[in-house]
Amino acid sequence: MKLSVIGCGYLGAVHAAAMASIGHEVVGIDVDESKIASLSQGEAPFFEPGLPEILSDGIASGRLSFTTDMAQADGAEVHFIGVGTPQQKDGYAADMTYVNAAIDALIPHLQPGDIVAGKSTVPVGTAAGLAERLASTGATLVWNPEFLREGFAVKDTVDPDRLVAGVPLGDEGARAADILREVYHPAVAKGTPFIVTDYATAELVKVAANAFLATKISFINAMAEIAEVTGADVTQLADAIGHDARIGRRFLGAGIGFGGGCLPKDIRAFTARAEELGRGESVGFLREVDAINLRRRERAVQLVVDALHGDMFKKNITVLGAAFKPHSDDIRDSPALDVAVRLRGLGAWVTVTDPEALHNAARVHPQLNYVEDRDEALRGADAVIVVTEWDEYRGGLDPEHAAQLVAGRVIVDGRNCLDAAAWRAAGWTYYGMGRP
């Protein structure tokens, strides 16, 4: 099939390349000229495992191209919308400027029978409004939310856990769902659940999933706060409750909390939309989820301050991690960088290292010192804090080896990802999150 993908960021670039990898002819369209220039050369503009390979294969095959020219969408049967929906600068709601601009630019290039498939995460009710705007073109709108996880985006796009299609009623909707089945043919053939529903449900599935995940993380972080005043160990608590199949251990990792380009802004946008709908109280708990999450960053900073007996003057602190999570170079709302910036604000000399995210971090926070080599970053540190659980830090950092590099053996494990006993045995003072 011939497809267009409008918006070539973390979602769209992967989607375009993944669709080409399963045999479609795909044009990726974005307003960012530098992004399009690097994608056109087969170079991924961000770190995502597996993306460079499918990008260069797609371009070499002639099935994948990138452009800033919306006219190249002409002739595509399905047009995916994957532009950003960030938090508004002056509120909690989603900023819909980019979605509206993309739809305005696309409308002149649509033919009757085309499918416009929305993938951006939007406030419930958006699709119904967009469908009205598209009515005069004869194109059909489908809402096809995206659940990919950065770091696993290629696998999640080609082989998702489930597919959701919000479609209009009647034959038009049935035809649109069939076309989406054809787009995702390998996943559909292997029996991946394909849920056909209305627009509102499809939009809500995405925000409900993110709200649930955020709540699960903040739940265990709330337990960490209780553990801290009772001497309990939240990691053992999580193991114990996680054995209950109804609860499950995943997303019960207490630490400095969630961040990134999705969860924080999505739960805030959900709260804002629920208030507009007169149901603010239904998701009022998400404010608490947000507040718990942000408190954990403060707690991590406090642990470092306490470990250094309140004296940050001329102290060297090494921050292991900058990306909001491992296997990504995304620093949007990264708790890791937030902690680094706060420590710097307290007067410490902060050195940050990360396997992939330093170039992004340095652009946004030039006041921090960035060192690529992990061991070099550790040299002379008075305290070390782990804020992104890269393998290089969790199992890959030998406490005996690290002890030879630092000035003071103080480690704060902001992700509860280290073997506390091994670090203590190597002479370190170990502080975890919600652990004695």
Under the rule (CB under 6 A), what is the footprint of ligand NAD?
Answer: 6-12, 29-32, 35, 82-85, 98, 101-102, 105, 120-121, 146, 148, 150, 261-262
Q: Annotated catalytic, 262?
A: yes
Shortest Å distance, C-beta 50 to ligand NAD: 14
Shortest Å distance, C-beta 249 to ligand NAD: 23
Nearer to ligand NAD, 217 or 317 (CB): 217
Nearer to ligand NAD, 149 or 401 (CB): 149
Q: Is the dihedral of CA 134, 137, 142, 145 positive or negative?
A: negative
Nearer to ligand NAD, 149 or 243 (CB): 149
Shortest Å distance, C-beta 318 to ligand NAD: 28
> What count of Cα atoms within 13 Å lies in the side-chain half-sphere of residue 66?
30
Residue nearest to ligand NAD (CB): 9
Catalytic residue chosen out of the listed positions 54, 262, 274, 410: 262
Nearer to ligand NAD, 157 or 353 (CB): 157
Nearer to ligand NAD, 102 or 312 (CB): 102
Shortest Å distance, C-beta 197 to ligand NAD: 18
Shortest Å distance, C-beta 117 to ligand NAD: 12
Residues classed as catalytic: 262
